[in-house]
Amino acid sequence: MKRSISFPLAAAALVLSTAHGHGTPTPNHGGIVQAVGETWLELVPCSGKIELYVEDDGDPMPSAGVTGHLSVQNGAAKADYPLKPAGGNKLEAVGAQAAKGARVTAVLILADKTKVPATFVVH
């Protein structure tokens, strides 16, 4: 009987450890985090710009070679902004503003040509 109990417990532990093998996305810059596969995006609305930080499963991913744009919908108003590398793992959309409740859609093209879309709601 002990053997039949041990096997299901070991199998459950293996499944749980596999399910939680990757880290949990956390905001490192006070923003809103979305995980898209192993790519983590952190959106940080600032005065006069929106910053977007990129990580590969928790490790900073260089923004050099990354392109993309943001679409910001504040109520009925919608505007698009290019994202430009800003050093380290940061991209910026200069001139973009996102009020509380705004929907921000980011589409990135990584250096390896992988497309990474994410939608955020500013709170």
pLDDT digits (tens, 9 = 90+) for 68-78: 999 999 999 99
Calpha distance 109→102 (Å, rounded): 23
Give the pLDDT of residue 22. 57
pLDDT score at 26? 85
Q: What is the pLDDT of residue 18?
A: 36
Average pLDDT (97-112) is: 96
* Whether pLDDT at 3 is above 90: no
Q: What CA–CA distances, in Å, run from 118 to 2, 32, 47, 69?
A: 48, 11, 22, 11
End-to-end CA distance of the chain: 53
Please, which contacts does 44-47 make with residues 24 or more away whose CB atoms are closer than 8 Å?
45/97, 45/98, 45/122
Q: Could you tell me the pLDDT band of residue 25, with boundaries at 50, 70 and 90? A: confident
25-121 CATH pick, 1.10.3470, 1.10.3210, 2.60.40, 3.30.70: 2.60.40
Instruction: Give 17's pLDDT tier (boundaries 50, 70, 90).
Output: very low
Query: Residue 23's pLDDT is what?
Result: 75
DSSP H or E segment with residue 1? none
